[in-house]
């Protein structure tokens, strides 16, 4: 099992990670496990993409009744989280004019509603503990508009606002809540969208006709690079950081 370069221990801590079967969620779950945490992965899939060092519990976060039932079961097992990472996400392509209504609702139900359901179910737990960390995985697409990605951009922007409101509500209880917003990252989602090495290079170089900048660092991000940021925000190294959104995209989102 690969080791994270971040010098932070999660021994004795319980960490819940949604979307843990693949992509960024899988790498986050494995990284926490490598640092000594008891990791509960939550995913609608029953098998992870690689060697697995954590428990994987089947859960469709877009279904509120499932979220409530699974949360109650895990809390009864004394597996309440010290850290919650909401990494589950879906991408459905389409413009405002032509996106299928079902695709719009799928993006909202997974990317926003699923996080809301978990946060609401676990709010009493975090308030009672008076400590803990929550990290929500968004996207740089929540910071800048993208052609043909209306539902995804809107859902990630909504997630950012939800994350900040949650941070404000939990601050007086000693619970921190932050956001990590990756750019183009080498995940199954990105590979399915791009489809070829030529498309990957075009993403790195940018699409001027689509008003999309390239990546100044000249490479696609790796899931571990995003996971490292999640680990930092969940650790005591970030003990005075809350209500923030760290963009991890190689400089693709130019900000002043």
Q: For each of the chain's 256 residues, which pLDDT tens digit applies? A: 555 555 568 999 999 999 999 999 999 999 999 999 999 999 999 999 999 999 999 999 999 999 999 999 999 999 999 999 999 999 999 999 999 999 999 999 999 999 999 999 999 999 999 999 999 999 999 999 999 999 999 999 999 999 999 999 999 999 999 999 999 998 888 778 777 888 888 888 988 888 888 999 999 999 999 999 999 999 999 999 999 999 999 999 986 5
In a domain, 221, yes or no: no
In a domain, 6, yes or no: no
Residue 103 has a CB neighbour count (10 Å cut-off) of 17
The domain that contains 111 carries what CATH number? 3.40.50.720
In a domain, 157, yes or no: yes
Distance CA 15, CA 38 (A): 6
Q: Fill in the DSSP letter of residue 78.
A: T
Pairing of strands 38-43, 55-58: parallel
In a domain, 240, yes or no: yes
Nearest to 240 by CA among 174, 161, 160, 165: 174
What pTM was computed for the model? 0.93
In a domain, 20, yes or no: yes
Q: For the chain, where are the alpha helices, taking DSSP H only?
A: 23-34, 64-76, 101-108, 114-129, 150-170, 188-194, 197-205, 223-234
Pairing of strands 83-86, 14-18: parallel
Residue 127 belongs to domain spanning: 14-187+226-247
- What are the CA-CA distances from residue 158 to residues 56, 76, 164, 179 (Å)? 27, 31, 10, 12
Would you call 48 helix, strand, or coil by DSSP? coil
Query: Cα 29 vs. chain centroid, distance in angstroms?
Result: 11
Residue 230: partners with Cβ closer than 8 Å, 6 or more residues away: 28, 31, 85, 87, 135, 137, 180
Strand arrangement of the beta sheet that strand 175-182 belongs to: 55-58, 38-43, 14-18, 83-86, 132-137, 175-182, 245-248
From 26, 117, 152, 211, the catalytic residue: 152
Instruction: Give yes or no: 152 in active site.
Output: yes
pLDDT of residue 26: 98
Distance, first Cα to last Cα, the chain: 39
In a domain, 193, yes or no: no
In a domain, 236, yes or no: yes
In a domain, 215, yes or no: no
Q: Fill in the DSSP letter of residue 185.
A: B
Question: How many structural domains are present in the chain?
Answer: 1
pLDDT of residue 256: 53
Distance CA 9, CA 22 (A): 23
């Amino acid at each position: 099992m690969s080791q994270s370069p971040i010098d932070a221990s999660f021994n004795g801590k319980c960490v819940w990670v949604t979307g843990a079967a693949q992509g960024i969620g899988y790498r986050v779950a494995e990284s926490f496990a490598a640092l000594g945490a008891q990791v509960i992965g939550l995913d609608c899939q029953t098998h992870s993409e690689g060697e697995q060092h954590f428990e994987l519990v089947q859960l469709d976060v877009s279904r509120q009744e499932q979220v409530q039932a699974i949360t109650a079961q895990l809390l009864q097992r004394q597996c309440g989280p010290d850290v919650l990472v909401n990494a589950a996400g879906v991408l459905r392509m389409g413009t405002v004019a032509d996106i299928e209504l079902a695709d719009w609702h799928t993006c909202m139900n997974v990317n926003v509603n699923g996080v809301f359901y978990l946060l609401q179910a676990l709010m009493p737990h975090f308030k009672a503990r008076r400590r803990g960390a929550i990290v929500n995985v968004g996207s740089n697409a929540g910071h800048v508009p993208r052609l043909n990605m209306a539902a995804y951009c809107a859902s990630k922007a909504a997630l950012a606002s939800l994350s900040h409101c949650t941070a404000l509500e939990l601050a007086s209880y000693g619970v921190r809540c932050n956001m990590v917003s990756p750019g183009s990252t080498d995940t199954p989602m990105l590979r399915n969208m791009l489809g070829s090495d030529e498309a990957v290079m075009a993403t790195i170089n940018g699409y001027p006709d689509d008003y999309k900048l390239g990546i100044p660092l000249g490479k696609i991000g790796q899931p571990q690079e995003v996971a490292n940021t999640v680990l930092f925000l969940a650790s005591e190294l970030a003990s005075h950081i809350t209500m923030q959104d760290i963009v991890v995209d190689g400089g693709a989102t130019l900000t002043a």
